[in-house]
């Protein structure tokens, strides 16, 4: 079963600010400025574990996770702060699906006025020296605030402007720290917004009022604090059972993504056509019911991934430059770790 994530870059119109006194000023960007802005913004993004993962899989089951806590509000609104990313968009609403009002550079002062219900976005005000202030929404992850966003007043959004879901294990326990992408092909352009499951396993994306269509919703990564990650932030102790859904707006169907706990491991080696070990090669294991496990070979070409009972097809994967799959190896798993296997790297 082929698992592909449509990863896209939503068009960014970057307006570079000049520091004239203390007032931000916008100028018309050149193509070179835009490319520089995109590169610097990507460099400022926090590190996450993509799916398929870029980290070598652990050889032991995941330890008991630490508590995934929501910080207590410590400050009364409004809250002052500044932008911590190289460039950050000010938007008309709390997701990347909303229009860009303007773009500001790192260090620009902001005043946070209110927040989205999940506290991942805040409505801010940015003051100018000789112009009226601008209001709009910014992602909290790219701001340094002098207090907790949860202390701000909460804005509300109608149900038809939200898409919600939940991540849990097969026993119904919520799983926080799972990053989910919402992708929509709208007017021949791919739009994307992302959300992260909270301590209740819930995630939400907010939509512009005029937006409609069917979203491709899919798990794309996890945070290091998530219980599906071990102490080294590696995928461990779980397999993915349901990780993708197609949801129309307005939402009528539930989005429920599930993981299955396991203490079993599948180990092996990835080799090239000459029998030499291949390091940092992605591999995918797909159970006959569609469940998946993921991993990557280490410097010796060796790997170890979570596995559970069932019939699995395991193969190496390459994305450079095109998506290629290696020869599939069938593995039967009962209630003990299966024998180590050897995978062949895909041939270009």
Whether residue 139 is found in the same domain as residue 182: no
Pairwise CA distance, residues 102 & 126, whole Å: 11
Whether residue 97 is found in the same domain as residue 191: no
Whether residue 227 is found in the same domain as residue 147: no
Whether residue 205 is found in the same domain as residue 104: no
Whether residue 118 is found in the same domain as residue 137: yes
**Which of 191, 177, 17 is closest to 95 using CA atoms?**
191
The verdict on residue 12 lying in a domain is no
The verdict on residue 316 lying in a domain is yes
Instruction: Give the tokens for residue 54.
Output: 């870029």
Question: Could you say which of 151, 179, 199 is where a domain stops?
Answer: 151
Whether residue 202 is found in the same domain as residue 290: no
Whether residue 239 is found in the same domain as residue 292: no
- Could you tell me the CATH number of the domain that includes residue 27? 2.30.30.40
**Which of 273, 323, 324, 269 is closest to 296 using CA atoms?**
269
The verdict on residue 132 lying in a domain is yes
pLDDT tens for the chain, 348 residues long, are 433 333 322 333 332 232 233 345 443 444 444 443 433 333 333 334 344 433 333 333 333 333 334 445 445 679 999 999 999 999 999 999 999 999 999 999 999 999 999 999 999 999 998 899 999 999 999 999 999 999 999 999 999 999 999 999 999 999 999 999 999 988 888 999 999 999 999 999 999 998 989 999 999 999 999 999 988 788 899 999 999 999 999 999 999 999 999 999 999 999 999 999 999 999 999 999 999 999 899 999 999 999 999 999 999 999 878 899 999 999 999 999 999 999 999 986
Instruction: Give the tokens for residue 149.
Output: 């966003």
How many structural domains is the chain composed of?
A: 3
The verdict on residue 61 lying in a domain is no
The verdict on residue 271 lying in a domain is yes
Whether residue 270 is found in the same domain as residue 210: no
- Could you tell me the CATH number of the domain that includes residue 331? 2.60.40.1120
Pairwise CA distance, residues 225 & 242, whole Å: 21
CB atoms within 10 A of CB 224: 16
Q: Which residues pair with 333 in a beta bridge?
A: 310
Please say whether the dihedral angle defined by the alpha carbons of residues 148, 154, 157 and 162, taken in this order, is positive or negative: positive
Domain that holds residue 246: 159-261
**Which of 195, 284, 192 is closest to 1 using CA atoms?**
284
The verdict on residue 147 lying in a domain is yes
End-to-end CA distance of the chain: 20
Whether residue 34 is found in the same domain as residue 113: yes
Whether residue 199 is found in the same domain as residue 269: no
Instruction: Give the tokens for residue 42.
Output: 């990507």
CA 156 to mean position of chain CA atoms: 24
Whether residue 47 is found in the same domain as residue 142: yes
The verdict on residue 50 lying in a domain is yes
Whether residue 232 is found in the same domain as residue 108: no
What 3-state DSSP class applies to 62? coil
Query: Position of tokens 């506290």?
Result: 119
Pairwise CA distance, residues 78 & 111, whole Å: 7
Question: Could you say which of 261, 292, 321 is where a domain stops?
Answer: 261
């Amino acid at each position: 079963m082929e698992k592909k994530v449509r990863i896209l870059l939503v068009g960014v119109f970057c307006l570079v600010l000049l520091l004239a006194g203390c007032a931000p000023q916008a100028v018309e960007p050149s193509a070179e400025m835009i490319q520089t802005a995109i590169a610097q913004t990507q460099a400022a993004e926090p590190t996450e574990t993509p799916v398929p993962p870029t980290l070598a899989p652990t050889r032991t089951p995941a330890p008991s996770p630490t508590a995934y806590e929501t910080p207590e509000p410590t400050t009364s609104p409004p809250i002052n702060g500044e932008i911590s990313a190289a460039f950050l968009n000010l938007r008309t609403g709390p997701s990347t699906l909303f229009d860009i009002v303007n773009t500001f550079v790192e260090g620009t002062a902001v005043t946070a006025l209110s927040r989205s219900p999940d506290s991942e976005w805040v409505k801010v005000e940015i003051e100018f020296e000789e112009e009226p202030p601008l209001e709009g929404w910014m992602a909290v992850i790219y701001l340094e605030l002098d207090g907790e966003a949860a202390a701000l007043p909460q804005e509300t959004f109608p149900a038809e402007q939200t898409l919600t879901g939940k991540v849990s294990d097969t026993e119904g326990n919520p799983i926080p720290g799972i990053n989910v992408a919402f992708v929509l092909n709208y007017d021949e352009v791919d739009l994307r917004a992302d959300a992260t499951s909270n301590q209740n396993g819930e995630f939400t994306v907010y939509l512009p009022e005029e937006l409609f269509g069917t979203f491709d919703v899919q798990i794309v990564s996890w945070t290091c604090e998530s219980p599906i990650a071990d102490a080294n932030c590696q995928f461990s102790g779980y397999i993915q059972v349901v990780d993708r859904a197609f949801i129309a707006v307005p939402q009528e169907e539930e989005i429920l993504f599930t993981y299955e706990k396991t203490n079993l491991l599948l180990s092996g080696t990835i080799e090239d056509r000459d029998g030499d070990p291949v390091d940092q090669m992605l591999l995918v294991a797909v159970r006959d019911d569609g469940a998946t496990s993921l991993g990557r070979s280490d410097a010796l070409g060796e790997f170890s991934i979570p596995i559970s009972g069932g019939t699995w097809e395991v193969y190496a994967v390459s994305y450079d430059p095109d998506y290629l799959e290696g020869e599939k190896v069938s593995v039967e798993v009962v209630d003990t770790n299966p024998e180590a296997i050897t995978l062949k790297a895909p041939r270009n």
